[in-house]
Structure 1
Amino acid sequence: MRKSLPIFITSLSLTLFSSLTTATSYDSNQKVALDLTQNALKSDLAYKITESLTVEVGPRLAGSPQNAVAVDWAEAKLNALGFDKVYKEQVVVPVWQRGSAAAKVISPYPQNLVVSALGGSVATPKNGLTGKIIRFESLDALKHASHKDVEGKIVFIDKKTERFKTGAGYGQSVGGRVNGAIEAAKLGAIAIVIRSVGTDHDRMAHTGMMRYDDSINKIPAAALSAPDADMLDAMLTRTNEVELQLTMTPQSLGTTTTYNVIGEVTGATKPDEIVLLGAHLDSWDEGTGAIDDASGVAIVTAAAKLISELPQRPARTIRVVLFAAEEIGMLGGKAYVEQHKDEMAQHYIAAESDFGADRIYRADLKVAAGVFNEAQALLASLTAFGVELGDNNARGGSEVSLLPAQGVPVASLRQNGQDYFDYHHTPNDTLDKVDPEALAQNVAVYAQFAYLMAQSELLLRPLE
């Protein structure tokens, strides 16, 4: 029977961590995984990759010229790092250009406001539009409003995003960004502005994707910085006669082709079976996409690179997928599922890094219930540097969340998201937010996870 690291290990000491590698209670796979971890903790490769992508490419909105630069960068980087196989797969994406955005209260308290167009928004008329503001505390409150109250006005959704380690507050407030324009337009609104879906207090707005319904009038949609949302709210406590002028010049310019970029470390004895490590290559265009998701690109790439340097390759293939167009609807993930539908049964397990660059604190799985405890035991060595073993309800993250529906087991290696939404989708998403030591801890976790899964004898399917 395969031996495994005891669950009770919790020490963060690298001295103890090192001593565990020589303990007689561990098999050779666990020793290799622990050696990988030590190598990862000493390596600055992930930070160098993050720096390279943010400095040499920078913002890389799907469909933009810089996104094409990012694809070339990724292909060259994977080749330079010596991946056994590097290739691209086409993804058709819409082309949207941000243009400019400006807003100001014109009465009764004239003030300029900081706004950002939401991704995919239509433009205002050339000279802008002006309307009275009507405030709602949430998307649900807007849905229950009357046409008479909303018609001809600018809707303001003032839903605050609460701060959680898990990022749960984002899920509670993002609906207003995604679907607010549809619901406002149903009631005759001429535009919508939302409180930025973020946890910061900086005077900068958070962009992000929104949706339209082709059967409903398309109205301009923008996000307000949190301080400006506070100020607008304070004005509305004084009077309901607040008039806002909004001017935006985004454009939609058809479609273009971009690519998922894929690199593989070929397995030694089961090369057709895949352990997939994902991240997304695109970013929004306001910052340099450092934590969303250059850090994720770096984490999974560096983890696979460290595995490739082992004296003996693992049994299964490690496949790194740098997905296209996650920010505008997970289009790269959807394309991957379609293009690889005939080999989904060969995907042993998958995980994706797309929640910043802070430390991983918990590992959740989604595997066959009958082997969950054994799978946890296999990964119990992660607890030696602060990773809690979680539940069997993992989503896998971003594009990888599409894979359980195809029968693919997944893992969620959860990062601390306490301050992630301070920077997410803003001009403040820059390299200085990345802690090299925390990044190295992520690489250590991903490298150990990927290696142990590549060597595992467990039957992780079928999912329930």
Structure 2
Amino acid sequence: MKLLYLIALICLFPQSEENPLSSDNAGPRRSFEDIKREIAGYSDVAKKIIDLAIHGKAQNRSYERLAFFVDTFGPRVSGSRNLELAIQYMHKVLKEDGLENVHLEPAKIPHWERWEESAMMMKPRNYSIALLGLGGSIGTPPEGITAEVLVVTSFDDLHQKAQEAHGKIIVYNQRFVSYGETVQYRVRGAVEAAKVGAKASLIKSITPFSIHSPHTGIQEYQSDVPKIPTACISVEDAEMMSRMSSRGTKIVVTLKMGAKTYPDADSFNTVAEIVGSTYPEQVVLVSGHLDSWDVGQGAMDDGGGAFISWEALSLIKDLGLRPKRTLRLLLWTGEEQGGIGAEQYYKMHKENISNFDMVMESDEGTFMPTGLAFTGSDKARDIMKEIMKLLKPINVTDVFENGEGTDINYWIHDGIPAASLRDDLTRYFWFHHSQGDTMTVQDPIQMNLCAALWTVVSYVIADMDEKIPM
């Protein structure tokens, strides 16, 4: 009888021929055409955000805030005093900006310091090699390691020359294909060299362009493989030693590294909000990370991403807007060590995972924006394409694949829709993790555009009647 009653009840309601999208909020299911009309209705709000960010009183604000920040605190490597002071400063200024629920959430993060380091070519001539130790590397004995160099072009080449490698310093002169593919040499270079008995590894910096500038970054040891010192060298020096080696020239290098790893340090993820008016428990998260490597200023990686995320909340507040859902700013700690701070935040909040509507991270520069990268269902992607149409005034409307980010991947694995800023990466890896990552590479006009895009997208998602479908 109950079954017949349910069938009769269903028949009372006409079925839409259009593609319905489910909602986690109370209310009837709506057609995609209804949702398109709702999004189009944000056109005036989007224009106000764009005008304020690009032409109004907020013009260049994210750039100027960032310049003060990086000039004051400099590089902010995990576990450092600089990072601690930078976090305390952000806690203070977010409160002064009038944002809500500003607080710090504790995290334990790695603490590694490079101290003094050098690489000196002893044969065939005396020459100082440009060097940056890799994060987490062990140091050398005080007197250093002096050994002959073996140059290889790939892991396969290393394995083929395994009989020659014992007791040598391996120099990797791999070809740059893309950051995602070539970075494996930085991450795994020491382990692969140690497997064949090498004393140390020197890796050509992971960049397509160089002005004699080494690039640092994280590397990973394996518990079952001996740890050896490892560092990146400049493109120019790697290629020079490769040419020498190809002529049969014997190369001897003395490597000295004072690197040390200390007990994990106390740190914090920095949080601020605009509390939602209707569904305050539901969250749209916008984020970037405050830590950086210990070279340059960390302006590009990831000062720009962190500060346009702050700017998104500032612009919404300045316009007197309050979305239905809570907009939450997260400034992560310990990202460069593998998203350590974000992982701990996720574990603390994952019991409320269903309340996260969207997670967004900007961590690939704030150069000229080209669109939004997105990870989610086909239904969600269709909605994002409609939202991006609101950015027509600045001609940035594309939706790309792969919205992943180191700090938001934890939510993605649980099926939460995610987005990351897509911009012109032409020059990004020229400066990435190097002394060149300074305020000089930032452009205020481009940051304004990135902030406008970031704000429009996050506000509309937070204010729509229904959550983005998973």
C-alpha deviation, 1:376, in angstroms: 1.2
Partner of 1:165: none
C-alpha deviation, 1:191, in angstroms: 0.1
Matched, 1:313 2:313: no
Contact residue 103 and residue 270 of structure 2 kept, 8 A: yes
Consecutive unaligned residues in structure 1, runs of 5 or more: 6-24, 163-168
- Superposition pairs for residues 397-408 of structure 1, below 5 Å? 397-408=405-416
Which of these residues, 442, 446, 449, is aligned with residue 457 of structure 2?
A: 449
Q: Residue type of the partner of 1:88?
A: L
Contact residue 344 and residue 407 of structure 1 kept, 8 A: no
The structure that has the greater radius of gyration is 2
CA separation of 1:354 and 1:276: change in aligned 2, threshold 3 A = same
C-alpha deviation, 1:339, in angstroms: 1.0
Which of these residues, 145, 148, 151, is aligned with residue 163 of structure 2?
A: 148
Distance 1:176 1:326 in 2: 20
Contact residue 375 and residue 458 of structure 1 kept, 8 A: no
Contact residue 387 and residue 457 of structure 2 kept, 8 A: no
C-alpha deviation, 1:357, in angstroms: 2.1
Matched, 1:30 2:43: yes
1:409-464 alpha-carbon deviations (Å, 9 max, x no partner): 111220111100111111111111100000000000001001111122345333xx
Consecutive unaligned residues in structure 2, runs of 5 or more: 1-32
Contact residue 2 and residue 27 of structure 1 kept, 8 A: no
Q: Residue type of the partner of 2:224?
A: S
Partner of 1:420: 428
C-alpha deviation, 1:225, in angstroms: 1.1
Distance 2:60 2:69 in 1: 15
C-alpha deviation, 1:185, in angstroms: 0.6
Q: Residue type of the partner of 2:89?
A: W
Matched, 1:75 2:84: no
Matched, 1:130 2:139: no
Distance 2:197 2:326 in 1: 54
C-alpha deviation, 1:240, in angstroms: 5.0
Distance 2:398 2:381 in 1: 11
Distance 1:44 1:322 in 2: 20
Which of these residues, 237, 240, 243, is aligned with residue 246 of structure 2?
A: 237
CA separation of 1:401 and 1:126: change in aligned 2, threshold 3 A = same
Matched, 1:56 2:69: no
Contact residue 171 and residue 203 of structure 2 kept, 8 A: yes
Report SS of the residue matched to 2:110: strand
Report SS of the residue matched to 2:157: helix
Which of these residues, 369, 386, 403, is aligned with residue 360 of structure 1?
A: 369
C-alpha deviation, 1:101, in angstroms: 1.4
CA separation of 1:201 and 1:383: change in aligned 2, threshold 3 A = same
User: TM-score under structure 1 normalisation?
Assistant: 0.90
Q: Residue type of the partner of 2:186?
A: R
Distance 1:457 1:149 in 2: 66
Aligned Cα RMSD in Å? 1.8
Which of these residues, 385, 392, 395, is aligned with residue 394 of structure 2?
A: 385
Which of these residues, 425, 444, 463, is aligned with residue 436 of structure 1?
A: 444
Matched, 1:219 2:223: no
- Superposition pairs for residues 211-290 of structure 1, below 5 Å? 211-239=220-248, 241-290=250-299
Matched, 1:326 2:335: yes
C-alpha deviation, 1:88, in angstroms: 1.0
Partner of 2:5: none
Partner of 2:135: 119
Distance 1:80 1:362 in 2: 31
Distance 2:105 2:379 in 1: 36
Aligned length: 435
Q: Residue type of the partner of 1:29?
A: Y
Distance 2:149 2:349 in 1: 48
Contact residue 358 and residue 435 of structure 1 kept, 8 A: yes
C-alpha deviation, 1:4, in angstroms: 4.7
1:363-395 alpha-carbon deviations (Å, 9 max, x no partner): 23223223432331132122432324224x433
Q: Residue type of the partner of 1:177?
A: R
Contact residue 199 and residue 419 of structure 1 kept, 8 A: no
Distance 1:374 1:171 in 2: 29
Q: Residue type of the partner of 2:163?
A: K
Partner of 1:40: 53
Task: Work out the percentage of aligned pairs sharing the same amino acid.
Answer: 29
C-alpha deviation, 1:309, in angstroms: 2.1
Which of these residues, 407, 419, 422, is aligned with residue 411 of structure 1?
A: 419
CA separation of 1:262 and 1:316: change in aligned 2, threshold 3 A = same
Contact residue 40 and residue 306 of structure 1 kept, 8 A: yes
Report SS of the residue matched to 1:403: helix
